[in-house]
Chains A and B, each alone.
Chain A
Amino acid sequence: MSVTTFETMGTVVSVRGAATATVSAVRAVFAGYDRRYSLYDPASVLSRIAAGSLRLADSPDEVRAVYALALEWRDRTGGAFTPHRPDGVIDLSGVVKALAIQAAGAALDAAVAPGDAGDASWMLNAGGDVLVRGRHGADPWSVGIVDPDQRDVVVGVVQLDDRRAVATSGTAERGEHVWRRSAPTFRQATVIADDIVTADVLATAVVAGDEDDLRRITGDGTVDVLAFGVDGRVWATPGATGLVRAGSPSPAA
């Protein structure tokens, strides 16, 4: 299957199952989001807001809509996810990457010919945040999960059969858009969801939160979570237990 990769937003994006022209459209989507929301770029809309040279109220509608969405997620996660840095700066990177992936996915969908809609397949991976459509040949698209304690180890495989999105968040994530409210409970969290924004935001929320937050987030059963605790325990929703290859249980341990 054809694979195209490019760098954007400080990470690497790979696209499978897309024609060259479509990949160009995908690349443009990411570039657009990066331009508006990057805090690394002093000219971005968000950087100007952070610097005080642009009022949020005067920013483009779309930027305010993203901020509103981030606030909505803050409320839905009981504050575990928040767009506000401890220093007060608005940082939307917690949602922007996922929104860019979502929009890029829409561009990939738009390129599917109507007659092919039934079996169109693609995979979009932006630095480990993965959105798919269809299947990889006869098999589901599959994503390996990296062990947070042993950096070079793939501990499990997520097969995207019913759900379309996987995202992983961790304590030392680049950009550090995870701000904890207390001592860390989790080192890494992978969330499998129907859409990439939900997966990404909730992965961040789990890592930022504690066990109660995890219970709340998984309470309605709409997502699956695999979370690695700082104490060595691993938490999984029933649907996620099968992701990790269970070695022989070691009662002695």
Chain B
Amino acid sequence: MRARVIAGGVVTSAAVLVIGWQLGGQPAVTAQSGAATGSTSGSSSSSGTGSSSSGTGSSSSAGSGTSSSVSGTFAGAATQTQFGPVQVQIVVADGKITDVTALQLTDRDGRSEQISQQAAPILRQEALQAQSAKIQAVSGATYTSEGYTTSLQSAIDKAGL
């Protein structure tokens, strides 16, 4: 978790300026909408290993209906990446994502193991950071994030957000 560097000031163009901010930082971020997450893994556990599958699998299969009332746990499809399979699970309360967990982030080679152990805790906290707004889609481009993005989108799709 590192601070992102600030680039000072406004750059030449009138249309473009440089902004900086600090990502990660305190786990205490996010007063996450206060939605009653109930069941799952509410607290701590930030520094865990990659696969915390904890098996809360059952989705309330809310399926249709107004999206704002969707609640439940939804696992996205597992996606292959160059680092191995990635699968993401989200917890939704009243249409808002209140938790995101990586169910799988491992592969046979050590490098991937390492990556998964570093990434998973960050994933939970940071993903929560953006959840003050409801999202129905994710957009990103790096190859490594693609598997995650695809699985996260899959989970969002299953929840019907």
Contacts and interface: CB of A to CB of B under 8 A. Distances in A.
The number of chain A residues touching the other chain, given as a range, is 35 or more
A146 B149 contact: yes
Given A2-B160, A148-B145, A250-B3, A233 B18 contact: yes
B17 A238 contact: yes
B142 A171 contact: yes
Contacts, number: 221
Q: Which 6 A/B pairs are nearest by Cβ-Cβ distance? A: A146-B140, A170-B141, A152-B123, A151-B145, A247-B22, A153-B126
Interface of B: 3-7, 11-13, 15-25, 29, 64, 66-68, 102, 119-120, 122-123, 126-127, 129-130, 132-146, 148-150, 153-154, 157-158, 160-161
A209 interface: no
Interface stretch (A32-40, A76-84, A112-120, A135-143): A135-143
B134 A154 contact: no
Contact of A241 (B6, B17, B68, B158): B17
Contacts of A219: 13, 15
Contacts of A1: 64, 66-67, 160-161
Contacts of A218: 13, 15-16
Contact of A154 (B3, B127, B136): B127
Given A235-B16, A253-B4, A136 B67 contact: yes
Interface of A: 1-3, 5, 11-12, 14, 16, 123, 125, 127-130, 136-137, 139, 141-148, 150-159, 166-174, 187-188, 190, 207, 211, 214-215, 218-219, 221, 225, 231-238, 241, 244-251, 253
Nearest to B83: A151
A106 B22 CA distance: 41
A152 B122 contact: yes
A14 B137 contact: yes
A88 B18 CA distance: 36
Contact of A167 (B133, B139, B148): B139
A233 B139 contact: no
